Each structure stands twice: as structure tokens, then as C-alpha cells.
Amino acid sequence: MKSRFFFFAVLLFSFSFALFSQPMNGPRRGVNQLNLTDQQKDQFQKIHFDTQKKNIELTAKLATARVDLKQMLLGDKQEKSAVEKKLKEISDLQVSLKMNRFNDWTECNKILTPEQQKIWKQQLQRHLLGAENRRPMMNNRRPSMQNRQNNAPYPRHRMMQNIPQN
């Protein structure tokens, strides 16, 4: 019995190791195809670290704004102007995150040679086309409206469940 457990533990470990050692998705997974110089690699790394730091800051602000919104909605009195202002703030933070990713891509693109830029753009196009093809599948997996109200699988729906009805 112990040998079976040990075998399955080793098997599970090897699968998890193989899973997490896969290259990252998106246009950066093909960075090796670009044949970057050492200087370009250093610049890429600096750009990505700066982007990650900005994303962490923006994500924290976004999470805080969402908690504030939830607190407003669950309060005794909901002020329409305050809720609208908070929703605008959340929307602006989401746009900032997307623009941060776009700026990261354009900054990396600037340091590439014209030949490398072609490859970089092709990788982005493949990534975007792949995302388009995945979206319909995601929509088909969503539960019906009735189930959403009962189970509230998404945080934004759970947030709306506890609002007192007037």
C-alpha cells in the first residue's frame, strides 16, 4: 500500500513539474525565436520588471476599489453619484492595466530589429486570434441566469446578492 502511495506521489509530482515548466502563454512565449542579443535580453527584462511593478500597484488599487464598491452597495443607503464615481474609478484602473500591457509590448518592439519586429508582431497576432477563438467557449460554459442567482459563481454576482431590496 505504501509503495502505491509513493508511486502516485512521484507521478503527481512529475506531472506538476511538467505542467509548471511549460513556456508561458501569449506573445512572449516565442521570445526565444527572436534570437535576442544579450543587451536586448537585459532591456526586455527591465521593461517586464517595470511593467510587473506597475501591474501589481494597479491591481492592488483595483482590488481596493472593488472592496469599496461592495461596501457602498451593502451599506444602508446607496448614493448613486458615489457608486457611479467608484465604477468609473474601477473602469479607469482596468483601462490602465490594459494600457500598461500595450505599453510593455510597444517598448519591447522598439528595441527589436525590423526582422525581429515581424516575428514579434506575428506572435502577437497569433495570441490575439487565439483569444478570439477561446471567447465563445467561455460564454458557452456560463451557467444560466437562474443558476447565477442561486449559486453566484462570480464575485460580482455574489456582491449583488446581499443588497437589501426596498
Averaged pLDDT for residues 78-88: 93
CA 166/CA 161 separation, integer angstroms: 14
Averaged pLDDT for residues 50-65: 96
Query: Is it the case that residue 74 has pLDDT exceeding 70?
Result: yes
> Which string of DSSP letters, residue by residue, matches 105-149?
HHHHHHTS-HHHHHHHHHHHHHHHHHHHHHHHHHHHTSPPHHHHH
Other Cβ atoms closer than 10 A to 28: 19
pLDDT of 2 = 56
Q: pLDDT tens for residues 85-142? A: 999 999 999 999 999 999 999 999 999 999 999 988 888 888 778 766 665 554 555 5
Three-state SS letters, 3-30: HHHHHHHHHHHHHHHHHHCCCCCCHHHH
Averaged pLDDT for residues 29-48: 87
Give CA separation, 47 vs 31, 37, 40, 102, in Å.
Answer: 14, 15, 10, 12
pLDDT of 125 = 85
CA 21/CA 47 separation, integer angstroms: 23
37-113: which CATH topology? Four Helix Bundle (Hemerythrin (Met), subunit A) (1.20.120)
pLDDT of 143 = 52
* Mean pLDDT, rounded, of the chain: 75
CA 116/CA 32 separation, integer angstroms: 11
From first CA to last CA, the distance across the chain in angstroms is 61
> What is the H or E stretch that residue 31 is in?
none
Query: Is it the case that residue 61 has pLDDT exceeding 50?
Result: yes
Question: pTM higher than 0.85, yes or no?
Answer: no
pLDDT confidence tier of residue 9, bands split at 50, 70 and 90: very low
Q: All 3 cell numbers of residue 4?
A: 502505491
